[in-house]
Amino acid sequence: MRTQRIHITGASGAGSTTLARAVATALGCPCHDSDDYFHRPSDPPYQTRRPLDERLRLMEAIFLPLPKWVLSGGGIGWGTIDRLFDLVVFLYVPAPARLERLRVREARHFGAEALAPGGGRHAEFEAFLDWAAHYDDGTREGRSSANQLAALEKLTCPVLRLEGERPIAEWVEAVVAAAA
């Protein structure tokens, strides 16, 4: 069986998880989200980071040895997994569209009332949106356009860059064709 280990990444709200799930379905392989490895389980979620060595051990135990998988989200520069990618897809969507997607996603996940002024997650939500809004200018700690593009340059596998908003089926077709 040919290996197809694909990593789909981009800014929060770019659609990397949605695209990764659709590509995994098209290829008939498992899909994994880097947030599930980057953060320890918590309630509320995404509060505690796992150390890199722990992330890698967990991923190694669950899916990295498999010949086919799709990983969404962060993960480039996480040490040894960079050498496992057969294809990396960098998805870029302009900030206004990403921020609107994040508003919808977070309201669906946590409830609109929790995110509204006075809600239990309002301050955290506003801080998250502020962080996500600065992806392009890189003025916040963490994932940014500049550091992701620099990391892409260091990869030895092919990199497919997809930009803008297109129907998911078009992006899936492009990724599957690039992975063939």
pLDDT digits (tens, 9 = 90+) for 59-106: 999 999 999 999 999 888 888 888 899 999 999 999 999 999 999 999
Of the candidates 140, 124, 135, the residue with the CA atom closest to the CA atom of residue 12: 135
What pTM did the predictor assign?
0.89
Homologous superfamily (CATH) for 4-95+143-179: P-loop containing nucleotide triphosphate hydrolases (3.40.50.300)
pLDDT(22) > 80: yes
The 3-class SS string of 7-51 reads EEEECCCCCHHHHHHHHHHHHCCCEEECHHHHEECCCCCCCEECC
Residue boundaries of the structural domains of the chain: 4-95+143-179
- Tell me the two tokens of residue 32: 């994994």
